[in-house]
Amino acid sequence: MTLKTLGELFDTFEREAFRLETLNDYSNSGNMDAYHAFLSGESQPDGYNEAWVSELRSHTSKGKRIYRVHILSRPLTPYLRFELGWGYQKNATGGEEFYILDTTDKPNPLEGVEDFWLFDEGTAVVMHYDAAGAITGRETLPADRTQEFMTCRDTALAHAEPFSEWWAMHAGA
């Protein structure tokens, strides 16, 4: 059996796509121009992240759920201020849901778990990053590994709070 790539999984998932984020900095894996604009105090450009928001809408308008939990602690890194302030706020307009598992004053219940995507409770894709936050690879796992990622998802959600509530209390943190 040939395992699907992350792109193929996004094209074919039927019900839900879940993402666990565990890093404080992904700046070397994405739009560096937008990140530098944010750091310079510029306003979010018109059309920022619009391709992803359009893809989100294409899924969520069909009743599919796309959601994520980010494990983090305060104070926020500059990258997290960018990701949450620009990225999450913008992506939410496409229907993506966000949750925060804040470990500032409590232990991380998923210590050591790597970032991953979980599609339709059937396929997990582990994301590998280097110390500078650059993606180094993606590993689509066989279906017999799915349960461990479902357990991680459930644990993350059980300890997380909705992003909008968390952001209202900690946006400047």
Q: In the 3-class helix/strand/coil scheme, how is 70-82 assigned residue by residue?
A: EEECCCCCHHHHH
Number of domains in the chain: 1
Report angle CA 99, 166, 156 to the nearest 5 degrees: 30
- Alpha helices per DSSP H over the chain: 6-12, 32-39, 50-60, 78-82, 89-92, 146-159, 163-170
Distance CA 20, CA 98 (A): 10
The pLDDT confidence band at residue 22, using thresholds 50, 70 and 90, is very high
Kindly state whether residue 130 falls inside one of the protein's structural domains.
yes
Structure-token match 């778990």, residue found = 113
Kindly state whether residue 12 falls inside one of the protein's structural domains.
yes
The residue range of the domain holding 16 is: 6-170
Q: What is the mean pLDDT of residues 144-167?
A: 97
Kindly state whether residue 49 falls inside one of the protein's structural domains.
yes
- Give yes or no for residue 165 having a pLDDT over 70: yes
Q: In this structure, what CATH number is given to the domain that contains residue 74?
A: 3.30.870
Kindly state whether residue 1 falls inside one of the protein's structural domains.
no
Kindly state whether residue 16 falls inside one of the protein's structural domains.
yes
Kindly state whether residue 96 falls inside one of the protein's structural domains.
yes
Kindly state whether residue 46 falls inside one of the protein's structural domains.
yes
Kindly state whether residue 94 falls inside one of the protein's structural domains.
yes
Give the per-residue pLDDT at 173: 58
The pLDDT confidence band at residue 132, using thresholds 50, 70 and 90, is confident
Instruction: Share the mean pLDDT of the chain.
Output: 94
